[in-house]
Amino acid sequence: MTVRPSCAPLFLIVVILVFTLPVWADQPAITSLSETPFGTTPDGQDVMLFTLTNAHGLRAKVITYGAILVSLDVPDRHGRLADVVLGFDDLDSYVRRNPLFGAVVGRYANRIAGARFTLDGVEHRITANAGKNHIHGGGDKRFDRVVWKGSSYRDGTEIGVRLTHFSPDGEEGFPGNLQCTVTYALTDKNELKIAYSATTDKPTVVNLTNHSYFNLAGAGSGDILGHELMIAAPWYTPAGEGLIPTGEIRSVQGTPLDFTEPRRIGERIDELTETRGYDHNYVLKSSYGSSVLAARVREPLSGRVMEVYTTEPGVQLYTANGMNNVKGKQGKVYSSHHSFCLETQHFPDSPNKPHFPSTVLRPAQEYRSATVFRFTVE
């Protein structure tokens, strides 16, 4: 997260997914947007499903529970669609056993050491939900476990859904009343945009991301070890106990973390015995607020290619190391290394590492961030 002191009080993250569909290029421009019930939470809250379809048939589905992207249908080199994100078919599974499939994560994505931080001389104790540490927003009120208010919209060639959520002062231990908005939108350029914004009335820390698990061969099709990955990051943040960063920023050169040139995800994954795979924060070259290429992933059999652009300083590569036979959509089983996440973010434990890019948001500041996932075929 990059805070600019000269800006107005707004917190904004944008995620864009661009899909090139050469097979459908000549189809007429027809878009659709629908809203249907998806179920009711155990405490009686209705959850809605928004389905967005662009002019080329690209389809994204989003629910108001957790602001979750539940499916994303993307074509291969022959124009055949496959859902490339992991998820469930029913609300009950998202409520009771979701490992953050497709979710908006907040208030703070990734880890904070000791579940505490000091801001302006005041120590704040937040929910410890990873041993003694904090991860991904805490407990029952973290952003992936609440029902957001949703409404659909059309704006020129763009269709979308806007979701809002209010997190009161002290929730999960975080200071400040935080008003959040997340917008998912499809354009006729085959873009899926996810925009986040937030304002606060007290100094606080914020670090939001989307936690979609990708498999470019199709969710539930097997492992992703043959996917070819490039990460445009010459450094990473080494971590110690509990995957808390040590504070050092180290070169990836000569390590299994070196994806500066494309190679298979599975090429050196077995060397990572401590984490059983990738779960590392990469330090990107500074973008100074403009979007830069962070990563490129290619699935050879389908020809699908995903490029990730972001203004965030870091990206977490996670290869679902602890996933153990989770039954997902259409009864398909997801296991370890059957998917990967590229979570654009500020660094883990930034509130306790003053030399890391700041995640502090103040009432008189504006935060802007953008991430772009661009899909093409080869």
**Beta pairing, strands 326-327 & 360-361:** unpaired
- The helix, strand and coil proportions of the chain, stated in percent and rounded to the nearest 5, come to 10, 45, 50
**What distance lies between CA 336 and its chain's CA centroid?**
19
123 as an active site residue: the answer is: no
Q: Catalytic one among 172, 191, 343, 366?
A: 343
Contacts 24+ apart (CB under 8 A), 50-53: 50/150, 50/152, 50/161, 50/184, 52/159, 52/160, 52/161, 52/184, 52/185, 52/186, 52/192, 53/186
343 as an active site residue: the answer is: yes
Query: Which two three-digit tokens encode residue 161?
Result: 């859904």
Rounded CA separation 340/318 (Å): 6
Distances (CA, A) of 129 to 50, 123, 141, 180: 31, 18, 12, 23
Triad 73, 160, 169: Cα angle to 5°: 110
Q: Catalytic one among 134, 136, 165, 211?
A: 211
Rounded CA separation 269/330 (Å): 29
Closest CA to 281 of 252, 309, 323, 311: 252
Give the number of other Cβ atoms within 10 Å of residue 264's Cβ: 16
**CA neighbours within 13 Å on the CB side: how many for 64?**
24
User: H or E stretch including 93?
Assistant: helix 91-97
Task: List residues with catalytic annotation.
Answer: 211, 343
